[in-house]
Structure 1
Amino acid sequence: MASTTPQFGLSSIGQIFVRAKDLDRAVRFYRDTLGMPFLFQVPRMAFFQCGATMVMLGIAETGELDHAASLIYYLVPDIALAHTTLRGRGVEFITEPHLVHRAPDYELWLADFRDSEG
């Protein structure tokens, strides 16, 4: 008997948490350097909109949460332009834009950088 239960699968991200050591410095980086739309700030947290995803910068509340572990992949229409613009704003890149995968209908390019929090 075939199952008629719909398959469950995560298909979008609602919010990403990015740990910050210095919240004010991180807000300046995400707002002023990356140009991400700032939403609001409350004690120990700041919120930004990135397309359909909310990005929350926050100070870790416990030692077990105080570690660098965020990797965020941003979609940009022109990676060369994004790289040039962000480098001009002082962003230090770990890697230059490089082709990761070529498929018949798209190419996947990456350029890695660290945010203000390392």
Structure 2
Amino acid sequence: MTDIQSSASIRRVGQIALSVHDIDRGVAFYRDVVGLKFMFQAPNVAFFDVAGVRLMLGMAESGEFKPEGTVLYFDAADLDADFAAMRDRGAEVEQAPHFIAALGDKELWMGFFRDPFGNLFALMSER
């Protein structure tokens, strides 16, 4: 057996793709409600910069759009304030911020939302 970890040259996640069925609505939501840094839009795709990782919104390829099991977790500087701001801007709350797990000397807390297409995403914080 080979040591895969020692031979891998992967440095970081460069881009994440998220399927939507309306690019303009997706751009408005992730830019204006979530507050991500909008980069640019082309036919059927739009890109955001999330601390150096690109988030690509792309049109769902199948005619029938169904959100899958992908969940985006955004690290929040102030979980409670950021959660309240997104909620107040119209994000659909799935679960308010709550304790998830003890991580040694810190606790992991998360709050969950749904985007307009049913995709689940979360704000997270280690307290």
Give the deviation of 1:11 after TM superposition. Answer: 5.8
What are structure 1's unaligned runs of at least 5 residues? none
CA change 1:56–1:106 in 2 (3 A) is same
Distance 2:23 2:53 in 1: 20
TM-score of the aligned structures, taking structure 1 as reference length = 0.85
CA distance in 2, matches of 1:17, 1:11: 18
Aligned length: 114
1:101, 1:15 → 2: CA distance? 27
In structure 2, what is the equivalent of residue 22 of structure 1?
22
Deviating beyond 6 angstroms after TM superposition, the runs of 4 or more aligned structure 1 residues are none
Report the equivalent of 1:68.
67
1:10, distance to aligned residue in structure 2 (A): 5.5
TM-score for both structures, normalised by structure 2: 0.79
Q: Give the residue type in structure 1 aligned to 2:67.
A: A
- Residue identity matched to 1:59: M
> What is the root-mean-square deviation of aligned Cα atoms in Å?
2.1
Residues in 2 aligned to 1:9 and 1:102: alpha-carbon distance in whole angstroms: 31
Aligned to 2:99: 99
- How far has the Cα of 1:105 moved from its partner? 2.6
Question: What letter corresponds to residue 67 of structure 1 in structure 2?
Answer: K
Determine helix, strand or coil for the equivalent of 2:91: coil
2 CA distance for matches of 1:18 and 1:106? 30
* 2: CA distance, partners of 1:68 / 1:83: 22
- Higher strand fraction (1 or 2): 2
Query: What's 2:6 paired with?
Result: 6
Q: Sequence identity, in percent?
A: 37
Per-residue deviation at 1:111? 0.7
Unmatched runs of 5 consecutive residues or more in structure 2: 119-127
Query: CA deviation digits over 1:47-91, x for unaligned, max 9?
Result: 000112100001023459x43123100001111111111111011
